[in-house]
């Protein structure tokens, strides 16, 4: 499990601090399936189901793709995009020589980005993983048309063997096409919303193709979900959820998620969707933002230290780096750096993180620290399960339905009308 | 010049709306050099100076590097990092075959990121551009030690020819080392702060190595800075500055900068530093955040549409895409997409942007639109000059010194003490 350290937030708590009774009630509502949106809480029990059902087939499909292709084109948007990208950039920031490149498309409408991706793909052998519950979301549907055409040009009658569809178990346009054309398909469960789907085939197939040990991810997730069912203020999900809701009600309307590893960038994007989409409704919600330290100490650092006191920070820290590098000694010492010579960069980074924490607290920024053992499969599973559990609990504490996203339809409705889609009004 | 469209913000303006008299006064303070921090306003006149002084030498150095190396390692943090990265990702999101790869290091303390970068660099020929006013900032200084060692191992006595130092004209550790070792060096002017330095050698040398036409950038910047001196509410910098300060005082404390081109991601990071560091002080300041559309409509879209009404959005739109792609027609039309078949993706993207604007305004989010002709050297120069001018004006309207960053020292002071740096307290 991750460990939450609230010591840097305590001095900012009002009254008796975070209300763990609210966390207990919210957890009970979540676990008993009695709250708003309870039809979408399947993600808690899902890792165990995954292990017993699709996992072998996902690993086999990934092996097929890895053995024959230099690239996997992943088509998806929102929850069908950010989780896999977050995981892959975190755990495989640089593809090994034997790993296919993963290209993410269908997550926007930029012609330039599409054409550039086609250039990068070149004439490499590739497979396509199209991820969409319905098959009719505009961005991925457009990309899928384009890449089906490319597959047909390249592989002719064999093109269908290069398509893997992650979609509804039974209904929808994409499932229909998959059945009709014999594409291997994987399931987006009915009771798991997009932003909670990274541990379903949605995330796992691209991750496995990228060389991530998804069996290990799922084994760890099973343990994590179980551990996070703990009904006690010792539960890190309770601590995070209760603390952030307490800070929100004390006037801290913006949460900054930070990490000292640049590879965390897209995990932060995944986290923004998880929390922003779950809690930003009914005119309320903590605004989720992110920073990359120490880089952004030299950009957003000034604001964090001395700007409007509406922010708190949640900092993800890995206990150990994967690799080590000792700072070289220089006889001349012209740069005056010999005081850190011989020390491992990780040690220096960790001291910097402590220094930043102290500075930001002094500046009036509450600090929540989230400690994770390692930037590996287990650490990833721990982070995902922790943030998902805490999100459900935090959403119920705030009084919203954390599992719907009614606001996402507004632009689509306008867009379909303006594009002249048949039947759109 | 960019064109600012405030039509999507008007209905949210209180009273008589943005006060252009405040913008006029702030512009006068900026131009006359009578305001706080006026020692750091050299960036307005600098493009012309650059053209007549360093530009030829920058282009020549870039040609040398391009002709002999497969990679340029750029060492810098904050303003010595984000501008070049923003420009290169915007204008050269994918390096052409003949372009060296640009690696950015020294912008953090992650051992994993450093080691991964060394792996990626492999045994390719490379040059180093170290960018630091003083030469003693910890992150770049550590990276520079490491890469100097690598250069010495690879090139022996010729290593010094592979180092280009962008630093103070006369003082500081790095300038001293450059003189001593005969490194070619370029100037970080005394009257230009880091976040305003992208059009100095700080940004231009890496950009030129990446294949960007920096002569064109500077020619356009000269014109832009002149045009932006316009003292009138027609000035787009007045419009943006006055509107955002008006919105801030009406309770909109968070600005979301968005763009429909994924290649804009690091320009948004540059913008966050520019505005966050200039305005986030004295306990006030608009909190700068960013999104990438349409991707983030499926993540942050819910919050934007229905969350806490503390946000407004500023959307950068390019009038034309560089490339075009017509959406394929499919006889079967199983996905129902034929209503967009044959249409260019750029057209669809533009309609989507209109639809999003309408939806967000209906949801209670003021919209500022910033139109730029093209995603090219001229468009980049226009954006940079516009955002810099507007930042100076906006900062003076808000009452702060937009050109200092006293808060950045707090964590450094702690860090040096904890690391046991000689003399640190």
Check whether residue B360 and residue B258 sit in a common domain: yes
Dihedral, CA atoms, A228, A230, A233, A235, nearest 10 degrees? -20
Contact A48, A199 (CB under 8 A): no
Q: Which residues contact A212 (CB under 8 A, 6 or more apart)?
A: A87, A88, A91, A92, A377
Q: Are B95 and B124 in contact (CB under 8 A)?
A: no
Q: Is A276 on the interface with B (CB under 8 A)?
A: yes
Residues of chain A with C-beta less than 8 angstroms from the C-beta of B312:
none
DSSP string over A349-375: HHHHHHHHHHHHHHTT--EEEEEEEES
**pTM for the structure as a whole:** 0.98
Q: pLDDT band at residue B413, thresholds of 50, 70 and 90?
A: very high
DSSP H stretches of helix in A199-256: 201-209, 214-227, 236-249
Q: What is the mean pLDDT of residues B139-149?
A: 97
Distance between CA atoms of B367 and B363, rounded to whole angstroms? 11
> Do B235 and B123 lie in a common domain?
no
DSSP letters along B301-357, please? HHHHHHS-S-EEEEEEEEEE-SS--BPPP-SS-TTSGGGGTTSBHHHHHHHHHHHHH
Q: Which two tokens stand for residue B333?
A: 């039309």
| Torsion of Cα atoms, B329 then B333 then B338 then B341, to 10° | -20
Q: Is the pLDDT of residue B153 over 90?
A: yes
Contact A280 B302 (CB under 8 A): yes
Question: What pLDDT score was predicted for residue A63?
Answer: 98
A262 is a domain residue? yes
CA distance B234 to chain A (A): 30
Cβ contact (<8 Å) for A339 and B281? no
Q: For residues B291 and B393, state if they share a domain.
A: yes
Does residue A340 come out as left (phi exceeding 0), alpha (psi in the -120 to 50 range) or beta? Answer: alpha
Residues of B with active-site annotation: 277, 298, 412
From the list B328, B411, B414, the residue facing A149 with the nearest CB is B328
Tell me: do A140 and A255 sit in the same domain.
Answer: no
CA B242 – CA A215 distance, rounded (Å): 55
Chain B 213-252, CB below 8 Å of chain A: which residues?
none
* Cα gap B164→B127, rounded to integer Å: 8
Nearby residues of A174 by Cβ (< 8 Å), 6 or more positions away = A130, A132, A133, A134, A135, A165, A167, A168, B335
Q: Determine the residue among B105, B287, B289, B387 to mutate to test chain A binding: the one whose Cβ has the most chain A Cβ atoms within 10 Å.
A: B287
Nearest CA in chain B to A318: B110
Residues A72 and A100 in one domain: yes
pLDDT at position B406 is 97
Mean pLDDT of the B244-249 span: 98
From A305, which residue of chain B is nearest by alpha-carbon distance? B407
Cα gap A309→B407, rounded to integer Å: 14
Q: How far is B89 from chain A (nearest CA, A)?
A: 12
Q: Are residues B206 and B232 in the same domain?
A: no
Chain-chain contact of B110 with A262 (C-beta, under 8 angstroms): yes
How would residue B425 be classed by pLDDT, with cut points 50, 70 and 90? confident
Q: For residues B346-365, give the mean pLDDT.
A: 98
The angle formed by the CA atoms of residues A239, A243 and A248, to the nearest 5 degrees, is 155
Give the closest-approach CA distance of B198 to chain A in angstroms. Answer: 14
Q: Which chain A residues are Cβ-neighbours of B261 within 8 angstroms?
A: 110, 112-113
* Residue B72: both structure tokens together: 């340029």
Alpha-carbon separation of residue A85 from A89, A202, A262, A267, B311 (angstroms) = 6, 11, 14, 8, 27
Q: Long-range CB contacts (< 8 A, 24+ apart) of B222-225?
A: B222/B47, B222/B48, B222/B51, B224/B1, B224/B381, B224/B382, B224/B385, B224/B386, B225/B44, B225/B45, B225/B47, B225/B48, B225/B385, B225/B389
Has residue A371 been placed in a domain?
A: yes
Which residues, numbered 365 to 404 in chain A, qualify as contacts with chain B under a Cβ-Cβ cut-off of 8 Å? 375
Could you list the beta-strand ranges (E) of A25-105. Answer: 71-75, 101-105
Helix boundaries (H) for B79-137: 82-91, 111-121
> Is A152 part of the contact surface with chain B (CB cutoff 8 Å)?
no
Kindly identify which residue of chain B lies nearest to residue A292, measuring between CA atoms: B108
Of B195, B219, B243, the residue that ends a domain is B219
- Domain identity same for B30 and B65: no
| Partner-chain residue, chosen from B109, B144, B261, that has the shortest CB–CB distance to A352 | B109
Looking at residue B135, what is its pLDDT?
92
Q: Is residue B94 included in any domain, yes or no?
A: yes
CA distance B284 to chain A (A): 4
CATH of the domain at A299: 3.40.50.10490
Do A319 and A170 have their domain in common?
no
Q: Which of A198, A219, A240 is the last residue of a domain?
A: A219
pLDDT > 90? residue A28:
yes
* Pairing between β-strand A3-5 and β-strand A367-374 as defined by DSSP bridges: antiparallel
Burial of B343 (0-12, 13-18, 19+ CB in 10 A): middle
CA–CA gap between residue A265 and residue A258 (Å, rounded): 9
Closest chain B residue to A270, measured at CA? B299
Residue B25 maps to a domain: yes
In a domain, A424, yes or no: no
All residues at 6 or more sequence positions from A142 whose CB lies less than 8 Å from its CB, including other chains: A106, A109, B327, B337, B340, B345, B348
Residues B92 and B177 in one domain: yes
Region label for A53, one of left (φ > 0), alpha (ψ between -120 and 50) or beta (otherwise) = alpha
> Percentage of chain B surpassing pLDDT 70?
100
- Residue in B269, B295, B307 closest to A107 by CB: B295
Q: Searching chain A, which residue's CA lies closest to the CA of residue B112?
A: A323
DSSP B118-131: HHHHTT--EEEEEE
Average pLDDT over every residue of B92-115: 96
Q: Is residue A413 part of a domain?
A: no
B296 closest CA partner among A255, A109, A90, A221 = A109
Mark yes or no for CB contact A308/B324 under 8 Å: no
Q: Does B121 fall in a domain?
A: yes
In chain B, residues with a C-beta closer than 8 Å to the C-beta of A288 are 300, 303
Distance in Å, alpha carbon of A342 to nearest chain B alpha carbon:
11
**DSSP state, residue B401:** -
B79 and B161 housed in the same domain: yes
Residue B62 sits in which domain range? 40-219
* Predicted pLDDT of residue A425: 82
Q: Which chain A positions have a beta carbon within 8 Å of B119's beta carbon?
A: 94
Q: Of residues A52, A98, A180, A298, which has the active-site annotation?
A: A298
What is the average per-residue pLDDT within A409-421? 96
Question: How are beta strands B367-374 and B3-5 bridged, if at all?
Answer: antiparallel
Residue A233 falls inside a structural domain: yes
Residue in chain A nearest B336 by alpha carbon: A136
The residues in B 405-424 lying below 8 A from A, measured between CB atoms, are: 405-408, 410-415, 417-422
Total domains, chain B: 2
Half-sphere exposure of B188 (CA within 13 A, CB side): 27
Instruction: Say if residue A48's pLDDT is above 90.
Output: yes
Q: Which of B184, B219, B254 lies at the terminal end of a domain, its last residue?
A: B219
Nearest to A40 by CA among A381, A406, A401: A401
Are A415 and B173 a contacting pair at CB < 8 A? no
**For a pLDDT cut of 90, what percent of chain B falls above it?**
98
Helices (H) and strands (E) in chain A, counts: 15, 10
Taking the C-alpha atoms of residue B127 and residue B184, their distance in angstroms, rounded to an integer, is 12
Instruction: Please state the ipTM of this predicted complex.
Output: 0.98
Strand partners, B120: none
Q: Which helix (H) or strand (E) holds B292?
A: strand B287-292
Binding-face residues of A in 90-149 toward B, CB within 8 A: 93-94, 107-116, 119-120, 135-136, 138-139, 141-142, 144-146, 149
pLDDT at A104: 98
Half-sphere exposure of A412 (CA within 13 A, CB side): 14
B170 in the same domain as B270: no
Q: Is B298 an interface residue toward A (CB < 8 Å)?
A: yes
CB atoms within 10 A of CB B302: 27
CB interface of B with A, residues 22-41, below 8 Å: none
Give the nearest chain A residue to B114 (CA atoms).
A325
Contacts A–B by Cβ distance under 8 A = 402
Q: Do A109 and B345 touch (CB under 8 A)?
A: yes
B214 & B228 share domain:
no
Nearest to A8 by CA among A369, A276, A423: A369
What pLDDT score was predicted for residue A36? 98
């Amino acid at each position: 499990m991750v460990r939450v350290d609230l010591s840097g937030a305590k001095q900012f708590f009002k009254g008796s601090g975070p209300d763990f009774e609210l966390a207990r009630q919210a957890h009970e509502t979540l676990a008993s399936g009695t709250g708003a949106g309870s039809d979408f809480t399947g993600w808690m029990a899902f890792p165990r189901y995954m292990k017993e059902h699709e996992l072998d087939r996902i690993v086999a499909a990934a092996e097929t793709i890895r053995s024959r292709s230099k690239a996997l084109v992943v088509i998806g948007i929102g929850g069908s995009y950010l989780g896999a990208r977050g995981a892959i950039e975190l755990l495989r920031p640089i593809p090994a020589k034997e790993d296919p490149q993963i290209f993410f498309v269908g997550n926007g409408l930029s012609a330039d980005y599409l054409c550039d991706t086609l250039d990068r793909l070149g004439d490499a052998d590739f497979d396509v993983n199209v991820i969409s519950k319905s098959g009719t979301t505009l961005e991925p549907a457009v990309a899928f048309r384009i890449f089906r055409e490319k597959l047909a040009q390249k592989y002719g009658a064999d093109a269908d063997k290069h398509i893997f569809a992650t979609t509804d178990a039974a209904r929808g346009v994409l499932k229909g096409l998959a059945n009709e054309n014999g594409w291997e398909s994987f399931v987006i469960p009915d009771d798991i919303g997009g932003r909670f789907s990274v541990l379903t085939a949605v995330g796992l197939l691209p991750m496995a193709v990228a060389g991530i040990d998804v069996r290990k991810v799922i084994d760890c997730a099973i343990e994590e979900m179980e551990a996070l069912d703990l009904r006690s203020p010792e539960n890190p999900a309770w601590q995070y959820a209760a603390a952030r809701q307490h800070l929100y009600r004390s006037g801290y309307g913006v949460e900054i998620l930070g990490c000292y590893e640049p590879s965390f960038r897209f995990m932060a994007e995944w986290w923004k969707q998880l929390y922003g989409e779950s809690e930003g409704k009914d005119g309320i919600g903590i605004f989720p933002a992110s920073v990359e330290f120490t880089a952004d100490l030299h950009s957003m650092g000034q604001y964090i230290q001395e700007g409007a006191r509406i922010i708190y920070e949640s900092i993800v820290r890995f206990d150990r780096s994967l690799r080590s590098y000792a700072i070289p000694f220089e006889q001349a010492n012209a740069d005056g750096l010999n005081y850190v010579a011989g020390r491992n960069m990780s040690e220096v980074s960790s001291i910097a993180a402590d220094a930043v924490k102290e500075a930001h607290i002094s500046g009036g920024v509450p600090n929540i620290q989230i400690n994770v053992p390692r930037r590996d499969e287990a650490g990833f599973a721990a982070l995902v399960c922790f943030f998902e559990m805490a999100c459900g609990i935090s959403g119920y504490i705030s009084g919203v339905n954390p599992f719907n996203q009614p606001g996402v339809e507004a632009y689509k409705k306008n867009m379909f009308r303006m594009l002249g889609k048949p039947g759109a009004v």
